[in-house]
C-alpha cells in the first residue's frame, strides 16, 4: 500500500535554485534515471548495506574458522583423555612408590635379623627359631610385594604408550591449528579492510540522504532483516520477491517523482527500477 503520510516528493535544489524536475537533460547528455536522486541514493545505501552484511557473514562463516573450531575441539578431547590417563597413572605410581618403601623396610628388617642370628652366641634356641621364622616370613612378604610391584609396572606400560601417542597427536593438531589460525587471521584482515572501505562509503552516502528518509530506512532495515529499501522490478518487489497487483504498480508509476511509497506486502520502501537502455 502507498504510504500517504510520507508521499511528499523530495526535490533537491540545483545550482540556480530551481527544482531539478524543471530542468530537462541536454540533448548531448545521457538520459537521467527515472528515479529521483534521493531515492537513487537510498538504493545505493541499501546496496552498500547488503555488501556489508555479506562481508560480515563471510567473516563469520570462514571455513578456516570452522576448521579451527574442529581442531580446538579435538585438542580438548585429547587433553581430557590425557588427564584421565595421567590420573590412573598417578595412582599406579603412588602404589609403586608405597610398595618400594615397604620392600625397603622389609629388606632392612630381614637383614638386621640375619645379622643378629649370625652374630648370636649363647642365644636360646627358642629365640633363634623365632628370628628364623620372622626372616622366612619377611622373605615371603617381600616376594609378594615384588610381584605386586611388577604388576604395577606392567599396568604402567600401556598408559605410558598411550600418553606418548596422545602427545604426538596433540603436537600435530597444535601445528595444524597454528597454521589454520594464521590463515584465518589473514582472511579476516582482508575482509576487515573491505569492511572499512565500505563503511566509509556508507557514511558518505548516508549523510547525503534527507534525515527523515534516512531515519525511516534505518528503522525498516533493523526490523526487516537488513533490507529497508527495495527495487520495484516490473511488478515484483526485490525485497520480499512478491508480486504487487498491476493496478497498484500502475498507480505507483504515475505518482509524482520522488514520492516515498512502501511495498504493501513487506513494508519496505519501494523505488522504481531505472528502465533498461534501449538496444
Run of H or E including 64: helix 63-119
Structural domain contains residue 35: no
- Asked if 92 and 181 sit in the same domain, the reply is yes
Q: Is the pLDDT of residue 24 over 60?
A: no
- Please tell me the distance from the alpha carbon of residue 244 to that of residue 84, in angstroms, as a whole number: 65
pLDDT at 176 over 80: yes
User: Is a pLDDT exceeding 70 seen at residue 270?
Assistant: yes
What residues pair up with 272 in beta bridges, in sequence order? 232
pLDDT score of 145: 94
Domain match, 217 and 169 both: no
**φ, ψ for residue 16 (rounded to 5)?**
-85, -5
Looking at the structure, tell me whether residues 134 and 265 fall in a common domain.
no
Q: Which of 76, 84, 49, 119 is closest to 269 using CA atoms?
A: 49
Question: Does 198 lie in the same domain as 154?
Answer: yes
Confidence of residue 230 (pLDDT cuts 50, 70, 90): very high
* One domain, residues 190 and 77: yes
Quick check: is 259 in a domain?
Answer: yes
pLDDT at 4 over 60: no
Is the pLDDT at 16 greater than 70? The verdict is no
Q: Does residue 251 fall inside a structural domain? A: yes
From 126-130, 228-232, 263-267, the region with the lowest mean pLDDT: 126-130
Query: Is the domain of 89 the same as that of 194?
Result: yes
pLDDT range class, residue 195, cuts 50, 70, 90: very high
* Per-residue pLDDT band at 276 (split at 50, 70, 90): low
Best-predicted range by mean pLDDT among 13-22, 108-117, 170-179? 170-179
If asked whether residues 138 and 257 sit together in one domain, one would say no
Domain final position from 204, 229, 255: 204
Does the residue 189 lie in any domain? yes
Residue at grid coordinates 562509503: 201
Would you state the pLDDT for residue 117? Answer: 82
What the block records as the C-alpha cell of 119 is 652374630
Tell me: do 67 and 103 sit in the same domain.
Answer: yes
> By C-alpha distance, which of 32, 49, 28, 87 is closest to 202?
49
The top-scoring range by mean pLDDT among 5-9, 32-36, 206-210, 256-260 is: 206-210
Q: pLDDT for 77-116, tens place per residue? A: 999 999 999 999 999 999 999 999 999 999 999 988 888 8
What is the domain range of residue 248? 210-273
Residues 236 and 157 in one domain: no
42 domain-assigned? no
* Separation of alpha carbons 5 and 140, rounded Å: 104
Could you tell me if residue 177 is inside a domain? Answer: yes
Residue 199, SS3 per DSSP: helix
Give the residue from 179, 204, 229 where a domain finishes: 204
Last residue of one domain, picked from the residues 204, 235, 264: 204
Considering the domain architecture, whether residues 95 and 188 belong to the same structural domain is answered as yes
| 62-72 exposure pattern, b = at least 16 Cβ within 10 A, e = fewer | eebbebbeebe
Closest C-alpha to 269, from 219, 235, 234: 219
Q: How far apart are CA 64 and CA 58, in angstroms?
A: 11
Instruction: State whether 120 and 232 are in the same domain.
Output: no
Q: Look at residue 131 in the predicted model and tell me its pLDDT.
A: 85
Residue 92: which residues within 8 A CB-CB, separation 6 or more? 152, 155, 156, 159
* Residue 190 is assigned to a structural domain of this protein: yes
- Provide mean pLDDT across the span 220-231: 94
Question: Can you read off the three cell numbers belonging to residue 279?
Answer: 538496444
Residue 10: predicted pLDDT:
46
- Tell me the angle at which helices 125-207 and 63-119 cross, rounded to the nearest 10 degrees: 170
Is there a domain that residue 57 lies in? no
- Strand ranges for the chain from DSSP E: 229-233, 236-237, 261-262, 269-272
Least-confidence region, from 56-60, 82-86, 184-188, 254-258: 254-258
Task: Give residue-wise pLDDT tens across range 139-156.
Answer: 999 999 999 999 999 999
Residues 187 and 76 in one domain: yes
* pLDDT computed for residue 184 by the predictor: 97
Count of the separate structural domains present in the chain: 2
Q: How many residues does the chain have?
A: 279
Q: What is the CATH number of the domain that holds 156?
A: 1.10.287.1700
CA distance 255 to 80: 69
Given pLDDT bands bounded at 50, 70 and 90, which one contains residue 165?
very high
Amino acid at each position: 500500500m502507498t504510504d500517504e503520510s510520507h508521499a511528499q516528493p523530495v526535490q533537491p535544489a540545483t545550482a540556480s535554485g530551481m527544482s531539478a524536475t524543471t530542468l530537462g537533460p541536454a540533448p548531448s547528455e545521457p538520459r537521467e534515471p527515472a528515479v529521483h536522486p534521493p531515492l537513487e541514493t537510498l538504493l545505493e545505501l541499501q546496496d552498500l548495506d547488503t555488501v556489508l552484511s555479506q562481508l560480515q557473514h563471510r567473516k563469520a562463516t570462514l571455513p578456516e574458522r570452522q576448521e579451527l573450531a574442529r581442531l580446538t575441539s579435538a585438542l580438548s578431547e585429547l587433553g581430557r583423555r590425557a588427564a584421565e590417563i595421567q590420573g590412573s597413572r598417578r595412582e599406579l605410581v603412588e602404589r609403586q612408590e608405597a610398595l618400594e618403601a615397604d620392600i625397603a623396610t622389609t629388606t632392612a628388617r630381614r637383614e638386621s635379623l640375619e645379622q643378629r642370628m649370625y652374630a648370636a652366641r649363647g642365644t636360646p634356641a627358642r629365640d633363634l627359631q623365632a628370628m628364623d621364622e620372622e626372616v622366612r616370613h619377611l622373605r615371603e612378604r617381600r616376594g609378594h610385594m615384588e610381584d605386586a610391584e611388577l604388576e604395577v609396572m606392567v599396568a604402567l606400560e600401556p598408559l605410558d604408550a598411550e600418553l606418548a601417542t596422545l602427545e604426538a597427536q596433540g603436537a600435530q593438531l597444535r601445528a595444524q591449528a597454528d597454521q589454520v589460525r594464521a590463515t584465518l587471521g589473514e582472511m579476516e584482515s582482508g575482509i576487515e579492510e573491505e569492511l572499512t572501505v565500505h563503511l566509509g562509503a556508507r557514511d558518505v552516502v548516508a549523510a547525503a540522504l534527507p534525515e527523515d528518509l534516512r531515519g525511516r530506512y534505518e528503522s525498516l532495515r533493523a526490523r526487516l532483516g537488513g533490507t529497508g529499501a527495495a527495487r520495484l522490478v516490473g511488478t515484483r518487489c526485490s525485497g520480499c520477491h512478491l508480486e504487487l497487483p498491476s493496478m497498484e504498480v500502475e498507480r505507483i508509476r504515475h505518482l509524482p517523482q520522488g514520492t516515498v511509497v512502501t511495498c504493501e506486502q513487506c513494508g519496505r520502501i519501494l523505488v522504481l527500477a531505472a528502465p533498461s537502455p534501449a538496444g
